Amino acid sequence: MQNRMPLVEAMLKYKNEKVYPFHTPGHKGGRGMEALLKNELGAGAVAMDVSLMSELDDIHAPSSYIMEAQNLAAQLYGSDRCFFAVNGTTGAIHAMLMAACKAGDKVLVPRNAHRSVAGALLLANLEPVFAMPEYDAVFGINTQITPQAVEAMFARHADIKAVLVTSPNYYGQAADLKAIAGIAHAHNAALLVDEAHGPHLGFSSKLPPSALQCGADACAQSTHKILGAMTQCSLLHVKGGRINLTRAAEAVSLLTTTSPNYLLMASIDAARYTLAVQGEKLIERALTAAEKLRKCLSKFAGLKLLEAECTGKNGIAGFDCTKVTVNTAAWGYSGTEAGDALRKAGIAVELTDAQSVLFLVTFADGGAEYDAVLEKISSVFADLEQHKRAPLKEQNCWKLPEFVTAVPLRSAFDAETESLPLKKAEGRICAEQVSFYPPGIPVLWPGELVTAEVIDYCLRMKKLGLPVSGPADYTLTELRVIK
């Protein structure tokens, strides 16, 4: 069964029938599209940009091709239901929390959760109960929450209905999901996993097990981040029992556009097919490519590479080594500066932070072109080494600051607000979310007290040049606070 792409096949059939469209989209198979864009996209792709047609099924009430494609994905990953998400993993996380919880429920959330989690809690009117993740001072990374931290939070809040964990994190570090699942289930709570960076897990013994293999009740995966789907494509997997599958379908439908892009959905179908047919071979290719990059970087004295040895510390139970993180602090360069040097050489990286650069390696990497790029990377780092500076001293200052919740999330969002200069907002209650991207982890949630520590953290992140997301003032010169 897995050697089929039902939705792709249906779209190709419709395209090849050369039906004249008296329906949306308005460009009508490319006839009305700007020529420059049409030529770049290709006539075939534009012709497959179709709308809701009875021949192609309906994502809100799937009964044929979409249903078959989603069922194949569920079968491949081991879920009871799989839903195609065309609003990225953000949309999948929103639906996951809405499916698992009801208004007013408490959700245990690691403080380093992605900003989309705040949006989900706000939309579903849920109460976050925060747990602080462990911290790696060498790399300046907020890592994972521990099973002990989860158990401690249940001791304080016995009415927690769901535990949400981000695993693996941006750097490939996986939480001890099996232990956390056991704790959550013992307290009759669901385990929800933001598995955006792990749609390939479970397909190689050299990688951590997947969230579903560890006992998660639901997980959201970015098929566009690691696999071959187009940007904005994700999957939401749900296991029955603790989460009602009908409610999950209703939540997904409620949060999904009535005009989903069929090219996006087809690319999810195709990505699932590729993984099913060639998954183990392709992941081995990615692992080989990542190891080549590690060897390229490891020849430079002073640079630190994030390795599998991080497992067993700081709440980390597994490591995805296709994420290659190199720390440049010993040479006196921030990750942002090293990333800029790479970009000038024609190489764009996934993430830069205070001390490190993160290269995302997938099975798309390899071959002669990749080897040539590795030579370029080597040249860039050789130049940095030649001009290295005094080591950076601030290795502990990137730990997320302590938080103080003063007003419930929803109340803060609905409150009357005013804007103040960031430096004068100390002691006020924040009315908006503030996160630096990547990795998009909020330093402030609506309803939290603006402390001197938080302001200092924001100023240091701004100095690094990291883009800020969430606040109305994207320069973060001003901050919205409750009146």
pLDDT, one tens digit per residue, over 164-217 is 999 999 999 999 999 999 999 999 999 999 999 999 999 999 999 999 999 999
pTM above 0.75, yes or no: yes
pLDDT for residue 277: 97
pLDDT for residue 440: 82
- Residue 473 per-residue DSSP state: S
Tokens of 479: 């901050």
Residue among 59, 83, 57 nearest 70 (CA): 83
Mean pLDDT, rounded, for 99-126? 95
Give the span between the Cα atoms of 211 and 207, in whole angstroms.
Answer: 12
Residue 67 pLDDT > 90, yes or no? Answer: yes
Give the span between the Cα atoms of 155 and 427, in whole angstroms.
Answer: 30
Burial class (CB in 10 A: 0-12, 13-18, 19+), 293: buried
Give the span between the Cα atoms of 243 and 162, in whole angstroms.
Answer: 10
The answer to whether the CB of 251 falls within 8 A of the CB of 99 is yes
Residue 396 pLDDT > 70, yes or no? Answer: no
Strands (E), 137-239: 141-142, 160-166, 173-175, 190-194, 218-221, 234-238
Which residues, 6+ apart, have CB-to-CB distance to 447 below 8 Å? 405, 406, 407, 408, 409, 411, 412, 413, 429, 430
Give the span between the Cα atoms of 93 and 179, in whole angstroms.
Answer: 22
Tokens of 450: 């603006």
Give the span between the Cα atoms of 471 and 210, in whole angstroms.
Answer: 34
Higher pLDDT, 54 or 181: 181
The answer to whether the CB of 458 falls within 8 A of the CB of 476 is yes
Mean pLDDT, rounded, for 91-105? 97
pLDDT for residue 465: 82
Give all domains of the chain, ordered by start, each with its CATH number. 280-386 (3.90.1150.10), 409-482 (3.90.100.10)
Residue 153: band (very low, low, confident or very high) from pLDDT cuts 50, 70, 90: very high
Q: Tens of pLDDT along 341-390?
A: 999 999 999 999 889 999 999 999 999 999 999 999 999 999 999 999 99
Give the span between the Cα atoms of 363 and 350, in whole angstroms.
Answer: 15
Residue 397: band (very low, low, confident or very high) from pLDDT cuts 50, 70, 90: low
Kindly list the distances between the CA atom of residue 453 and the CA atoms of 60, 138, 141, 328, in Å, as whole numbers in the listed order. Answer: 46, 21, 18, 25
Q: For residue 351, is it left (φ>0), alpha (ψ between -120 and 50) or beta?
A: beta
Rounded to a whole number of angstroms, the distance between the first and last alpha carbons of the chain is 59
Higher pLDDT, 470 or 132: 132
**DSSP H helices in 223-359:** 223-226, 245-254, 262-298, 335-344
Q: Tens of pLDDT along 433-450?
A: 999 877 788 999 999 999
pLDDT for residue 53: 78
Using CA of residue 333, residue 145, residue 255, residue 66, what is the dihedral sign?
Answer: positive
pLDDT for residue 290: 98
Residue among 403, 325, 396, 411 nearest 360 (CA): 325
Burial class (CB in 10 A: 0-12, 13-18, 19+), 255: middle
pLDDT for residue 360: 98
The answer to whether the CB of 100 falls within 8 A of the CB of 162 is yes
Residue 395 pLDDT > 80, yes or no? Answer: no
Mean pLDDT, rounded, for 253-282? 96
- Give 25-63 as a DSSP string: STTTTTTTS-HHHHHHH-HHHHHT-----GGG--TTS--
pLDDT for residue 55: 86
Of the ranges 42-56, 81-95, 284-298, which one carries the lowest mean pLDDT score? 42-56
Give the span between the Cα atoms of 164 and 177, in whole angstroms.
Answer: 10
